[in-house]
Amino acid sequence: MLHLALNLTLFVAALFWLGVACWVYRDARRRSRDLRVIGASTLLGLVPVAGPIGYLLIRPPETRDEAKSRRIEVEALESWLRREPPSCPTCRAGVDASFLVCPVCTTRLKEPCAGCSAPLAPTWLVCPFCTLDVKAPPAYDLDAALTAEAALQSVGPRHNGKRAHRTQEAQAS
Ligand SMILES: [Zn+2]
Ligand SMILES: [Zn+2]
């Protein structure tokens, strides 16, 4: 019985040992592309107890995914810092992004939005602030249309009949 318990303990310990070594191998692969680093880490992970602890102390501080996202963040920040300040296309004077005309040479820079008066760049098709279509005709006044329809219906049954007929025609087509 004691023999069996000892065997079982040894088996669990061996399983744990292999599991830890396997984790070290996978962790090393996530942190390095270098086969020598991965191989050395795995060998270190195979040393019972001290190996994995030593690996935790000396492993690369961030995973390759973390390093990549940090690199992308730094690049985005750098390009944001390098960006050109807006300038007038005619006289190259520095202008603010919200200017409608250049204050130096009076060149028209932007058109105000019909909906919210925000300055719109000439290439925009929709206002980013109030979502109004810049190229579209003025919005259809739904309130006025409904009021007109209510007035029409209150006139009499003759109009109602005519309207019903028109609706049938519209549904048929
Ligand atoms: Zn100008
Ligand atoms: Zn707008």
Do both 133 and 150 map to the same domain?
no
Which two three-digit tokens encode residue 65? 């995914």
CA of 86 to the centre of ligand 2 (A): 21
pLDDT along the chain (173 residues), means of 10: 91 94 95 94 91 93 94 95 88 91 92 90 90 69 71 59 50 53
Do both 57 and 104 map to the same domain?
no
Do both 110 and 130 map to the same domain?
yes
- β-pairing, 111-112 vs 119-120, is antiparallel
Relative to the alpha carbon of 107, which ligand is closest? Answer: 1
Do both 157 and 121 map to the same domain?
no
Q: How far is CA 154 from CA 43, 142, 158, in A?
A: 91, 19, 11
The pLDDT score that the predictor gives to residue 155 is 60
Other CB atoms within 10 A of residue 114 CB: 15
Among candidate residues 142, 79, 129, the one with its CA nearest the CA of residue 121: 129
CA of 98 to the centre of ligand 1 (A): 14
CA of 70 to the centre of ligand 1 (A): 39
Asked whether residue 81 is domain-assigned, the answer is no
Asked whether residue 73 is domain-assigned, the answer is no
Asked whether residue 71 is domain-assigned, the answer is no
The pLDDT score that the predictor gives to residue 4 is 92
The pLDDT score that the predictor gives to residue 164 is 47
Do both 11 and 27 map to the same domain?
yes
Query: Mapping DSSP to helix (H, G, I), strand (E, B) and coil, where does residue 103 land?
Result: coil
Do both 134 and 94 map to the same domain?
yes
The pLDDT score that the predictor gives to residue 8 is 94
Q: Are 71 and 92 in contact (CB under 8 A)?
A: no
Asked whether residue 72 is domain-assigned, the answer is no
Q: What residue numbers bound the domain in which 153 lies?
A: 143-172
pTM score of the predicted model: 0.49
Alpha helices in 60-134, H assignment, sequence order: 64-82
CA of 134 to the centre of ligand 2 (A): 8
The pLDDT score that the predictor gives to residue 168 is 53
